[in-house]
Structure 1
Amino acid sequence: MGFWIMAAAVAGTAAGDAQAGVPLDEAQVERRLDEEIIVTGQRPTFRTEVVQVGAFRNQSILDTPASIAVIPRALLDAQGATGLEDALRNAPGVTQQATSPTTSNNFVSRGVLMNARTNYRLNGALQIVNLSPVPIENKQRVELLKGVSALYYGLATPSGIVNVVTKRAGDQPVTNVYANGDAEGSIGAGFDIGRKFGGNDQFGIRINGYSAHVETPIDGVNGYRYLASGAFDWQATERLSLKLDVEHYRRATDEPGGISLAAFQLLDHVPNPHSRYAPNNAPYRTWSTNVLGRADYALGGTWSVRAEAGLAQSRRQRSRADFSFDNRQDSLETGAGRIAGNYTPDQEYRNEYVRAEIAGRLPTFGIEHELLFGVARNRQVQEDQHQRNYTAVAQNFYNPRRIDFDDLVFTTTRLLPGSVNIDTGFYMLDIAHVGEKLLLIGGVRRVLYDTDDATGDYRMKAWTPTGGVVFKPTPKSSLYFTYIEGLESAGTAPAGTTNEGDILRPVLSKQIEAGARAEVAGALASVAYFHIDRGLDYINSANTYVVDGRAVHEGVEASLQGNLTPSLSVALSGQYLKATQDETGDATLDGRRVDNTPRWSASLFAEYRLPTLPDLGINAGAYYTGLRYADAANSLRMPAYTTYSLGMNYRLRLQGDRALTLRVNGDNLTNKRYWSTGGSIFYVGLARQVRFSASMDF
């Protein structure tokens, strides 16, 4: 979707203000993002006023012609969220595929997989690698821009862009230390320090650190993780501002083992969520470092330029263990089967990013044009990988036995050749303000996509247009319609397929979306209809990942987020999705539902603060995922499920500016058994969890 003017245009307006005599450090160079409430008389709110993803950065949500789910810090804290999976459960239609919730997350939105190397961004810019779980301790918010995002982001699947926004130094100094843990035995501690300093507060710094021992509800699956990050700001001159973000994080846990598609004779029998099928000490280790720099310079008049560059590096060691039943008549009753898999100790990925833009305003015949011209280049490198396969080992579905990783017998080594993908885009955008109520949007991107892999070199060229309109009947409501085309990576063949690791060539996708937004009390209500036509990727009957035919994803989604009363905050949303296969060349597949796509899904969360005791918050939530099919033929059903959460927090005000906040949150309170992921390999959802934390503000 990303076709809205970015903050560079706002910076251009600020430059004009500066020339009129307003110092740039006092002008609104960027809209203020939601900041944390640090010992003030205000109460936290789940509502957000602006977005930062893509070209929407620092744009009013009411003026944004796209479906965007924003999960602010206040909502993350209320839910006791510890990772992206906790944040994105607030966005209906988001499921997971082929990975364990204890190791990494492959998310699916609107029935389309979000590519781990193209669909995740840091501060609306750098492509980060989501093969290593993204920490949120140093994040101010999580955003999900749903649908096609071609104009601004180039090649990415039309599922959506997940954007994580780092905490930055604000007007209020921040000194916070905290400790957290859970009933399984996890324990961690961290700190968050933010300051502005200098004669005119021209310098800003926000430092975060966190370390934890990790335990999970799965038997014997544990480990540790840590994070260190810094966000640095410098208003070098009235015209020039600089930003730098650096973060490094590591997670080391064990692989719990999945269930292969061939074992789904027991699809309606979800196994014990505490069961572990993988060998003990089967490693899942990740290391990630992200660096992003940005410079904004205000030119004369209303024009400005922006330059960004960044590097995302990730390394992973992964052992897979996939369970399947023996070919015996009594195996379903006895649970007799085996695990087979591999170990890849050297998975290394690198994304190199650079972008330059010029933006400004140009009035013509009473119409105010906001213009944006830019060029962006993303270079993705995947190094050669050596995958070692091991001999199948006996295992039991109902009573898993202990297997030591060191006892596995490795037989063959398979080379997974590396690849280099370079996505270069030249784009232009015009947003015409016709009066105060109407916006007309038009833009186009020239795509040059180069790939060098084991199958050879090739270049793909394309023009991807964007168009839309926004109408504001009142200052507190808006209607919009958009059309956008984009190239998407067809993705990488997932684990367990015959062509595992193969990168498929890009395909064209088209999307239309129409929506409406309005303020209701202190909350924002949204509703949208979407229709996506894209290449169909699935695992065929030969267990090969292919792109064959078309998939049509259409549906309606609605949300209500914010404070309905001074005491009641809500985050409610739901989605109806109809995703069907077409033109597959196989009559048994045409018209069937795309695998792993629930028809209905919903997320309901509310927090209430007693008027007589506003520092006490009580919250509850429900998260529903409808029936999904596990295969393209729709012969294997994954039952619908609902999980429930309950939580409480209390803020104890101490002398001076100190405050102690205590939280406890419980998830999956009924201990519901459910399949959390679809795809080629399936994992059971986590059992009941109880988390707690204590946080001190100084």
Structure 2
Amino acid sequence: MPLPHTRLSAALLSGASLLATTAAYAAEDAPRQIEELVVTGEVGFGADTVQAGAFNNARVLDTPLTVNVISREVLDAQGAQGLYDALRNTGGVTRSQLAGGTYDNIAIRGILVENRGNYRLNGALPVINLVEQPLENKARVEVLKGASALYYGFVPPSGVINMTTKRAEAGAAPVAEVTFRADNHGSTIGSVDLGDRFLDDRLGVRANLAGGHLETGVDKVSGDRALAAFAIDIDPIDQLSIDLDFEYLEKDIAETAAIALLGAVNNAITLPGVPKNTTNLADDWQHYDAKAKNMLAAATYRITPQISVKLQAGRAETVRDRAFSQFGGYNLSTGEGTLTVFQTRGQKYVNRNLRAEVTGLFDTGPVEHEVVLGWTWNEREQNGRQSPTYTVSQNLFTPRDVPHRPLTTALTQNPSIIHDEGTYLVDRMTWGPLQVMGGVRWTDYESRSNLAAAQPTVYSASKATPAVAVVYKPVEWVSLYATYLQGLEEGGIAPANTVNAFEVLPPAESEQWEAGVKAEVGAGVVASLAWFEITRANAFTNAERRFVLDGEVEYRGVEAMAAGELTENLSLVGSLLWLDAAQKNAADVRLIGKRPENTAEWTASLFAEYEIAQVDGLAVNAGVFYTGDRAVNALNQAFIDGYATFDLGARYTREIAGKETSFQVNVENLADKDYWNTAGNGLIGVGAPRTVKFRITRAL
């Protein structure tokens, strides 16, 4: 593993020393102290703090970007099992390319959330989202939308999805409960959650174990999943805290076939009718088998109440075997077409991450400063291993069994490696009701692909990217803000079904403006309204099936969000996004003015739970989730229709034999609607059938 650049390491150490000295001198008259981050103790549908990015431990009202937090209470009320289950509560979230049976491939505001860089564990480790991310061990899920290069380096401006793990909180009661889940399709999952503090509260241990059988209601689709997760907190002395996290997760399930687009005739593509949501054009032997290990260690040392140093190190690894297929070339009348079967083995993805950071609080006259100086180093290594394919005949209306042909040729090696190193400086200044944030990141980036070839493809970039934000609070419960950010992102990696499969595209720049208002409505609801504009390079699969960068796309929109307890008995979480996205310039002039593929103009959601006062422990809930129509390709030659799904649920909690016991039922896609739920990369996919989920949780 290459060592980080010594010049940046030296710069960090020198800067940290200077900051610590300055802060220590100024802190003599400064009563303020760095607060420890405690988020797992939050209850209800709302949230007060942010963990992701440079705004770590800031209040939501003081964060000058759109932040959506899905609390544990919301996850439990909805019976959420995967990331999309959580994120559908936020504006602009759609599925992309995959229908969702294997893992959640997600786009936000029409921009793909990169699976190796934009998903974070505890605000730090970039986990690899190529296997379903578990929620049993998560306290909450949050989305920091927009450009996040200041803190996270080369990531798309879709946003960072951060998953916070459950922990054994100091001073809290021990946790010991067991949960059994099942659904009408035949899934059965058991899990256990254990947590306690030891050694005079200086050692905390939280363990989450889960496993069982999966059924989705789709023909020939079944599988298994398992989770073992541990969160350990060690406080050997008052000034030092050490957090350790380990996750092992696996999922092995049959993968449904995607439906490919037909060729355009007179610049228009005719889509087939939506198949029944239980239809599967693949077979039960075509499995997606993925395993992942995530490890993160973090240590924070408080030199003084005003100065702290944080060190983090993590490693994420995912390996997968995959047999998947795509159906194309079909006759719209008879349904006859061709199924292309892909078989890959031994794909491996590894992320390595280091971070060092010093935070200092000091005052200069009436201005309070919170200064963060940090350094990060990321290495992303992958071997995609593209395999040969074969084709068989298939029918869209009456699917046939798919013959299994063992691999007879060696897999093609496609290794690549990316290094992303950066130093960042952020100063959050407060002067009465006015807050100003200024930050800059210096980045060195290099990607090497086609490493098995005689002449590998090499891209590199060195650039400084600024971030500026202003927050004004006319009253304590209202914030007005404006933000300007520059970002850097990888150009993308070509999907497996393109002619340049697994090719790494050159890096690209993005720019974002945002302005908005946030308010605490009453005692328990946080609401926000924001306008944003993002400009970025456009990566897509063109008509020749080549994944390319061509021109710039501008995304402009308005987003609203509200979450919390409206009354003592009524809780809600709701979102609304209007998005105007269009290609601004391109070498292919046919693209100009077109909406980017898989980008909805409107998305909305509303979920509410009502506790019935007349029956102690009983609560009922309902939700509606809407996604507007989306273009199937960059030329807008067809659109999949918009859709709305409806959920209903109820949960009842009471004490049985001295132990709290909860019974719950949730119905998703209540009307059993057939609809296209995803587009992108020349593919479309069908949404899941109606699912009735049952859950029993009992304290031990």
1:456 Cα deviation from its structure 2 partner: 3.1
- Residue 131 (str. 1) matches residue 130 (str. 2): yes
| Equivalent residue, structure 1, for 2:61 | 62
Give, as a single letter, the amino acid of the residue that structure 2 aligns with 1:57. Answer: N
| Equivalent residue, structure 1, for 2:381 | 381
| Equivalent residue, structure 1, for 2:13 | none
> Using the alignment, how far apart are the partners of 1:414 and 1:640 within structure 2?
39
List aligned pairs for 1:93-104, cutoff 5 A: 93-104=92-103
Helix, strand or coil for the counterpart of 2:86? Answer: helix
> Using the alignment, how far apart are the partners of 1:94 and 1:301 within structure 2?
40
1:338 Cα deviation from its structure 2 partner: 1.3
| Equivalent residue, structure 2, for 1:224 | 224
> Using the alignment, how far apart are the partners of 1:467 and 1:251 within structure 2?
42
Cα distance change on mapping 1:695 and 1:173 into 2, 3 Å: same
- Residue 490 (str. 1) matches residue 491 (str. 2): yes
| Equivalent residue, structure 2, for 1:296 | 300
> Using the alignment, how far apart are the partners of 1:138 and 1:410 within structure 2?
38
| Equivalent residue, structure 1, for 2:481 | 480
Contact 1:441/1:468, CA 8 A, preserved across alignment: yes
Q: Deviations over 1:183-236 (max 9, x none)?
A: 00000111001101212x111110010011001111111110000010000111
> Using the alignment, how far apart are the partners of 1:450 and 1:586 within structure 2?
28
Deviates more, 1:118-127 or 1:679-688: 679-688
Give, as a single letter, the amino acid of the residue that structure 2 aligns with 1:303. Answer: I
> Using the alignment, how far apart are the partners of 1:48 and 1:399 within structure 2?
49
Q: Deviations over 1:422-471 (max 9, x none)?
A: 10000101111112x11111010000002222233342100010101011
Contact 1:416/1:501, CA 8 A, preserved across alignment: no
Q: Deviations over 1:510-543 (max 9, x none)?
A: 0011011111122111100110010011221212
Give, as a single letter, the amino acid of the residue that structure 2 aligns with 1:51. Answer: V
Contact 1:104/1:133, CA 8 A, preserved across alignment: yes
1:100 Cα deviation from its structure 2 partner: 3.1
Contact 2:459/2:507, CA 8 A, preserved across alignment: no
| Equivalent residue, structure 2, for 1:240 | 240
Cα distance change on mapping 1:166 and 1:409 into 2, 3 Å: closer
> Using the alignment, how far apart are the partners of 2:344 and 2:242 within structure 1?
40
Cα distance change on mapping 1:202 and 1:344 into 2, 3 Å: same
| Equivalent residue, structure 1, for 2:458 | 457
Deviates more, 1:503-512 or 1:487-496: 487-496
TM-score by length of 2: 0.92
Contact 2:386/2:501, CA 8 A, preserved across alignment: no
Cα distance change on mapping 1:207 and 1:364 into 2, 3 Å: same
Helix, strand or coil for the counterpart of 2:54? Answer: helix
| Equivalent residue, structure 2, for 1:339 | 339
Give, as a single letter, the amino acid of the residue that structure 2 aligns with 1:375. Answer: W
1:559 Cα deviation from its structure 2 partner: 1.1
1:76 Cα deviation from its structure 2 partner: 0.3
Q: Deviations over 1:221-257 (max 9, x none)?
A: 1110000010000111121111100110000001111
1:268 Cα deviation from its structure 2 partner: 5.7
> Using the alignment, how far apart are the partners of 1:32 and 1:279 within structure 2?
47
> Using the alignment, how far apart are the partners of 1:107 and 1:390 within structure 2?
26
| Equivalent residue, structure 2, for 1:423 | 420
Deviates more, 1:661-670 or 1:497-506: 497-506
| Equivalent residue, structure 1, for 2:162 | 163
| Equivalent residue, structure 2, for 1:7 | none
Give, as a single letter, the amino acid of the residue that structure 1 aligns with 2:552. Answer: R
> Using the alignment, how far apart are the partners of 1:365 and 1:409 within structure 2?
74
> Using the alignment, how far apart are the partners of 1:634 and 1:659 within structure 2?
54
Contact 1:98/1:494, CA 8 A, preserved across alignment: no
Q: Deviations over 1:247-276 (max 9, x none)?
A: 100000011111012279552611111111
Give, as a single letter, the amino acid of the residue that structure 1 aligns with 2:419. Answer: I
> Using the alignment, how far apart are the partners of 1:573 and 1:29 within structure 2?
30
> Which residue of the other structure, out of 605, 608, 617, is the alignment partner of 1:606?
608
> Which residue of the other structure, out of 427, 443, 449, is the alignment partner of 1:447?
443
Contact 2:142/2:163, CA 8 A, preserved across alignment: yes
Contact 2:607/2:623, CA 8 A, preserved across alignment: yes
List aligned pairs for 1:396-435, cutoff 5 A: 396-405=395-404, 408=405, 413=410, 415-435=412-432
> Using the alignment, how far apart are the partners of 2:150 and 2:438 within structure 1?
10
List aligned pairs for 1:71-150, cutoff 5 A: 71-150=70-149
Deviates more, 1:356-365 or 1:557-566: 356-365
Contact 1:603/1:624, CA 8 A, preserved across alignment: yes
List aligned pairs for 1:131-280, cutoff 5 A: 131-170=130-169, 171-199=172-200, 201-262=201-262, 267=271, 269-280=273-284
> Using the alignment, how far apart are the partners of 1:369 and 1:597 within structure 2?
40
Contact 1:259/1:683, CA 8 A, preserved across alignment: yes
> Using the alignment, how far apart are the partners of 2:248 and 2:185 within structure 1?
26
Contact 2:40/2:167, CA 8 A, preserved across alignment: no
Helix, strand or coil for the counterpart of 1:87? Answer: helix
Helix, strand or coil for the counterpart of 1:386? Answer: coil
Cα distance change on mapping 1:565 and 1:300 into 2, 3 Å: closer
Q: Deviations over 1:73-96 (max 9, x none)?
A: 000000010110100110121111
1:301 Cα deviation from its structure 2 partner: 5.5
Contact 1:336/1:396, CA 8 A, preserved across alignment: yes
> Which residue of the other structure, out of 317, 323, 326, is the alignment partner of 2:321?
317
Give, as a single letter, the amino acid of the residue that structure 2 aligns with 1:30. Answer: E
Q: Deviations over 1:123-146 (max 9, x none)?
A: 000000001111111100011111
Contact 1:357/1:372, CA 8 A, preserved across alignment: yes
Contact 1:34/1:48, CA 8 A, preserved across alignment: no
> Using the alignment, how far apart are the partners of 1:434 and 1:392 within structure 2?
67
* Stretches of structure 1 lacking an aligned partner (at least 5 in a row): 1-10, 37-43
- Residue 524 (str. 1) matches residue 526 (str. 2): yes
1:490 Cα deviation from its structure 2 partner: 1.6
Give, as a single letter, the amino acid of the residue that structure 2 aligns with 1:214. Answer: L
Give, as a single letter, the amino acid of the residue that structure 2 aligns with 1:671. Answer: D
> Using the alignment, how far apart are the partners of 1:315 and 1:672 within structure 2?
34
Give, as a single letter, the amino acid of the residue that structure 2 aligns with 1:434. Answer: W
- Residue 33 (str. 1) matches residue 39 (str. 2): yes
Cα distance change on mapping 1:136 and 1:33 into 2, 3 Å: same
Helix, strand or coil for the counterpart of 1:495? Answer: coil
Cα distance change on mapping 1:619 and 1:268 into 2, 3 Å: farther
> Using the alignment, how far apart are the partners of 1:487 and 1:387 within structure 2?
28
Contact 2:422/2:442, CA 8 A, preserved across alignment: yes
Give, as a single letter, the amino acid of the residue that structure 2 aligns with 1:295. Answer: A
1:19 Cα deviation from its structure 2 partner: 10
| Equivalent residue, structure 2, for 1:349 | 349
* Stretches of structure 2 lacking an aligned partner (at least 5 in a row): 1-19, 451-455
| Equivalent residue, structure 2, for 1:368 | 368
> Using the alignment, how far apart are the partners of 1:15 and 1:684 within structure 2?
59
> Using the alignment, how far apart are the partners of 1:572 and 1:321 within structure 2?
36
Give, as a single letter, the amino acid of the residue that structure 2 aligns with 1:76. Answer: L
Contact 1:15/1:304, CA 8 A, preserved across alignment: no
- Residue 548 (str. 1) matches residue 550 (str. 2): yes
Contact 2:327/2:340, CA 8 A, preserved across alignment: yes
| Equivalent residue, structure 2, for 1:282 | 286
Q: Deviations over 1:319-373 (max 9, x none)?
A: 12000134xxxx2111001101311111001000100011101211321111111
Give, as a single letter, the amino acid of the residue that structure 2 aligns with 1:422. Answer: H
TM-score by length of 1: 0.92
1:389 Cα deviation from its structure 2 partner: 2.0
Contact 1:263/1:324, CA 8 A, preserved across alignment: no
Contact 1:581/1:590, CA 8 A, preserved across alignment: yes
1:15 Cα deviation from its structure 2 partner: 11
Q: Post-superposition, which runs of at least 4 consecutive aligned residues in structure 1 deviate over 6 A?
A: none
> Using the alignment, how far apart are the partners of 2:326 and 2:627 within structure 1?
25
> Using the alignment, how far apart are the partners of 1:111 and 1:456 within structure 2?
28
Give, as a single letter, the amino acid of the residue that structure 1 aligns with 2:458. Answer: D
Helix, strand or coil for the counterpart of 2:210? Answer: strand
Deviates more, 1:180-189 or 1:273-282: 273-282
> Using the alignment, how far apart are the partners of 1:376 and 1:209 within structure 2?
32
> Using the alignment, how far apart are the partners of 2:66 and 2:516 within structure 1?
8
Contact 1:526/1:558, CA 8 A, preserved across alignment: yes
Give, as a single letter, the amino acid of the residue that structure 1 aligns with 2:531. Answer: Y
Helix, strand or coil for the counterpart of 1:592? Answer: coil
Cα distance change on mapping 1:404 and 1:181 into 2, 3 Å: farther
Taking only aligned residues, the RMSD between alpha carbons, in angstroms, comes to 2.3
Aligned residues: 668
Helix, strand or coil for the counterpart of 2:77? Answer: helix
Helix, strand or coil for the counterpart of 1:440? Answer: strand
